[in-house]
């Protein structure tokens, strides 16, 4: 890989670590980038990486140091859970009871408990996955999720609209935080482990942190633009 790329990755990780408040976790979103980019970030101390394709994450996990924390930030397809169940550290995109139950089943098979976040739809775009705040509360009220021994619900995840309107983006992150608080009050009043708000990407992480994010998911500013076309056959 180019020396300039290596330098960019190292500089940006150092810059973000200095900028982010203590208590905000930096996830380096490495999707589409080769394992050597991850190894470069690893060499300057980055240990938490996120991917959105199970197959790709699993191939990288096999070839890289075993103390890396792998976070899955893609849409959870039930037929892919088995592949990541042995090692995944946190699954951010739980958007149905069915997905949660299937993660639990596969975790139990591996004698694990997998940390999960409930994805909340706060953006105006139709295409983004997730529960509405109301649907999420309804799911927790109406299902037997407490009996799922292979998962631990640790918080919420959300994505703001892709817009330059900062007030709108801040407002959406605020809704995510309110939803987190409503879930916490009703279902996890004394569980310290329900504490995470995964919010903020390269273009909006500062606003997300202002609105209480505890995990930011940053790809482009660290690793550069993703080249999806090179993935085509």
Ligand X SMILES: *Cc1c(COP(=O)(O)O)cnc(C)c1O
Residues that bind ligand X (CB under 6 A): 29, 31, 52, 73, 159, 201-203, 217-220
CB of 56 to ligand X, least distance (A): 12
The CA distance from 94 to 157, in Å, is 9
- Residue 40: CB atoms within 10 Å: 22
DSSP 70: E
CB of 117 to ligand X, least distance (A): 11
- β pairing state of 114-121 and 151-159: parallel
CB of 16 to ligand X, least distance (A): 11
Q: Compute the C-alpha angle 69/70/73, nearest 5°.
A: 140
Comparison of 207 and 218: residue with beta carbon closer to ligand X: 218
Comparison of 148 and 207: residue with beta carbon closer to ligand X: 207
DSSP 131: B
Comparison of 109 and 210: residue with beta carbon closer to ligand X: 210
Among 126, 89, 117, 114, smallest CA distance to 213 is for 117
CB of 50 to ligand X, least distance (A): 7
Comparison of 103 and 215: residue with beta carbon closer to ligand X: 215
CB of 202 to ligand X, least distance (A): 3
CB of 212 to ligand X, least distance (A): 17
213: part of which helix (H) or strand (E)? none
Comparison of 115 and 148: residue with beta carbon closer to ligand X: 115
- Report yes or no: 47 and 38 within 8 Å, Cβ to Cβ: no
Comparison of 13 and 148: residue with beta carbon closer to ligand X: 13
Q: Going by C-beta distance under 8 Å and a sequence separation of 6 or more, which residues neighbour residue 130?
A: 93, 95, 119, 120, 121, 122, 157, 158, 159
């Amino acid at each position: 890989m180019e020396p300039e790329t290596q330098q960019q990755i190292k500089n940006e990780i150092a810059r973000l670590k200095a900028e982010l408040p203590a208590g905000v976790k930096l996830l380096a979103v490495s999707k589409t980038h080769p394992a050597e980019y991850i190894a470069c970030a690893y060499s300057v101390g980055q240990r938490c990486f996120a991917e959105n394709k199970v197959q790709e994450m699993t191939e990288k996990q096999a070839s890289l140091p075993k103390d890396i924390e792998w976070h899955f930030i893609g849409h959870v397809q039930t037929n892919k859970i088995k592949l990541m169940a042995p090692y995944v550290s946190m699954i951010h995109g739980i958007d149905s009871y069915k997905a949660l139950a299937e993660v639990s089943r596969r975790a139990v098979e591996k004698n694990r408990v997998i940390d999960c976040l409930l994805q909340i739809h706060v953006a105006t775009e139709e295409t983004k996955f997730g529960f509405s705040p109301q649907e999420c509360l309804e799911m927790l009220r109406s299902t037997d999720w407490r009996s799922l021994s292979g998962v631990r619900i640790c918080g919420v995840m959300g994505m703001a609209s892709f817009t330059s309107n900062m007030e709108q983006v801040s407002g959406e992150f605020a809704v995510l935080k309110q939803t987190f608080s409503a879930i916490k009050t009703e279902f996890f009043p004394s569980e310290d482990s329900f504490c995470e708000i995964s919010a903020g990407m390269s273009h909006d992480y500062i606003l997300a942190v202002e609105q209480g994010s505890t995990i930011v998911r940053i790809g482009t500013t660290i690793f550069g633009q993703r080249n999806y076309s090179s993935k085509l056959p």
